[in-house]
A and B are shown apart, each in its own frame.
Chain A
Amino acid sequence: MSRPPCPRRRTGCPLDPPAGLTALSDKPLRRMRYADGHMGWLVTGHATARAILADPRFSSRYELLHLPVPMEGMVSGELPPAPVGDIIGLDAPEHTRYRRLLTGKFTVRRMRQLTERVEQLTAECLDAMEQAGPTADLVEAFAQPVPALMICELLGVPYADRERFQGQVATIFDQTADAEAKGEAYTALLQYLGELVLAKRAEPTDDLLSDLTTSDLTDEELAGIGGLLLAAGLDTTANMLGLGTFALLSNPEQLDALRADPALAEQTVEELLRYLSVADPLPRSALEDVEVEGQVIRAGETVTISVQATNRDPHKFPDPDRLDIHRKATGHLAFGHGAHQCLGQQLARVEMTVAFPALFARFPTLRLAVPPQEVPLRDRSNIYGVINLPVTWDKE
């Protein structure tokens, strides 16, 4: 019997998962055919996803994974192992070693200390946007620069150099870019970071990259880790801010509730993370035979966790397709789960908790400048979002 490939095209509402995915919520785990013909699995149930992501018998190593969606120009299904410093594609104990060097830099406390700085950067972006208004592409004026300025400052990457890394990062996440273009983009990004690491070693400044030069990491490892942090910092929160604004503007009663009570910002952010699930899907490979939900996942089989589907699992989140900023959305899997759970999540939370209320306070009449169906979507990227978000507001 032939099995359908992973549903991924969003056909209905751009804020909802593809119809084929939500329909599976009564079947938490089922077989799925992968792009290369591999017969693996698809997980759409929240509890099942949590169990698999926390289980060390499931590996993150790229070379063991089959991709649910094809990558252009890739021969067979074989992925190369993770390049040096890309900890997402490693297992313990290598993963643990790198991760322990980084977690101390991203604690809740350290990230909260950045709140004031995020507020300043946000205000500066809003000032510029207001002056250039009363129309803007919200992505370019706000959603991209706020997290980009912050991650650059945190890492010690000059924001002025962004021509040297922004396009590369976009290509790396672009599912339509072929394997060769991705390889070139990655090499260029590493080259840039390699130069920066040497500069930091020679002349340390007060930032994370300089800090890490005092660890036992090699230049190559440092450049790789720097590249991962920069890429992750540039293209994740930015999409949450862009798509999240679109979602709130499309749900005016929710936006009004947030405006009326800015103390709801933190839980609004959690609900948007759940509802939008921009980083999706998460693949794992079984290292041995594992019984899950009464079925046996064989060693070598790939399991794809659909974050979108698990975050809309009605057993976990009642009335899951409703954006409801009053609900308890904690426990969502938007940052993953297990040993790889997002390292930057506390930074992302601070950025979003500051940025959303500041945007809506500055522009009380903010609205879309085009019909919602004309908003271009990043539906072929590893990180979902809007490409542009044309907005307008009434000038005082």
Chain B
Amino acid sequence: MSDPREPLRLSADRDLCAGAGMCALTAPEVFDQDDEEGLVVLLHPAPAPEHRAAARMAVGLCPAEAIALNSRDATDS
């Protein structure tokens, strides 16, 4: 299990995004979709601890591998 206190850094690639909305559905505090194209908008690249589990789940659910998680290099944030 990952440590919930471990910092978490998210990135989103709108070129890959399929606009399916799984991220905004799963972690609405962290991800949104813009109104024009419905593509991912990253609200919080370093989400608060209480939103990290949902953010991780969204990364796993994204159908287009458009959002990524790299908790290693997040110490600088």
Rounded to whole angstroms, the CA-CA distance of A337 and B32 in the bound complex is 19
Report the stretch among A12-20, A152-160, A338-346 that lies at the interface. A338-346
Find the residue from A53, A54, A104, A342 having the highest chain B CB count within 10 A.
A104
Tell yes or no: A99 within 8 A of B by CB: yes
Known: A108-B21, A109-B24, A341-B18. A100 touches B37 (CB 8 A): yes
A368-394 with Cβ < 8 A to chain B: none
Q: Mark B33-72, 1 if CB is under 8 A from A, else 0.
A: 1111111000000000000000001001101110000000
Tell yes or no: B11 within 8 A of A by CB: no
Rounded to whole angstroms, the CA-CA distance of A345 and B26 in the bound complex is 13
Q: Interface size (B, Cβ < 8 Å)?
A: 23
Interfacial chain B residues near A331, Cβ < 8 Å: 60-61
Rounded to whole angstroms, the CA-CA distance of A65 and B19 in the bound complex is 26
A75-106 with Cβ < 8 A to chain B: 99-100, 102-106
A187 shortest CB reach to chain B, Å: 30
B60's nearest neighbour on chain A, judged by CB, is A331
Complex partner residue of B21 from A53, A102, A106, A340, CB under 8 angstroms:
A106
Rounded to whole angstroms, the CA-CA distance of A188 and B65 in the bound complex is 38
Interfacial chain A residues near B19, Cβ < 8 Å: 99-100, 102-104, 106-107, 343
Tell yes or no: A336 within 8 A of B by CB: yes
B64's nearest neighbour on chain A, judged by CB, is A339
Find the residue from A104, A108, A110, A331 having the highest chain B CB count within 10 A.
A108
B8 shortest CB reach to chain A, Å: 19
Interfacial chain A residues near B32, Cβ < 8 Å: 109
A242 shortest CB reach to chain B, Å: 24
Determine if B63 and A107 form an interchain contact, defined as CB atoms under 8 angstroms apart.
no
Interfacial chain B residues near A218, Cβ < 8 Å: none
Determine if B38 and A54 form an interchain contact, defined as CB atoms under 8 angstroms apart.
no
Q: Interface size (A, Cβ < 8 Å)?
A: 27
Known: A108-B25, A108-B33, A109-B24. A103 touches B18 (CB 8 A): yes
Tell yes or no: A120 within 8 A of B by CB: no
A103-158 with Cβ < 8 A to chain B: 103-110
Complex partner residue of A345 from B21, B60, B64, CB under 8 angstroms:
B21
Interfacial chain B residues near A337, Cβ < 8 Å: 63
Interfacial chain B residues near A108, Cβ < 8 Å: 21, 24-25, 28, 33
Q: List 22 A-B contacts (CB under 8 A).
A: A54-B63, A54-B65, A100-B19, A102-B38, A103-B18, A103-B33, A104-B19, A104-B37, A106-B19, A107-B21, A107-B35, A107-B38, A108-B28, A109-B35, A330-B61, A335-B20, A336-B63, A337-B63, A339-B63, A341-B22, A346-B21, A349-B25
Q: A-side interface residues toward B, CB under 8 Å?
A: 53-54, 99-100, 102-110, 330-331, 335-343, 345-346, 349
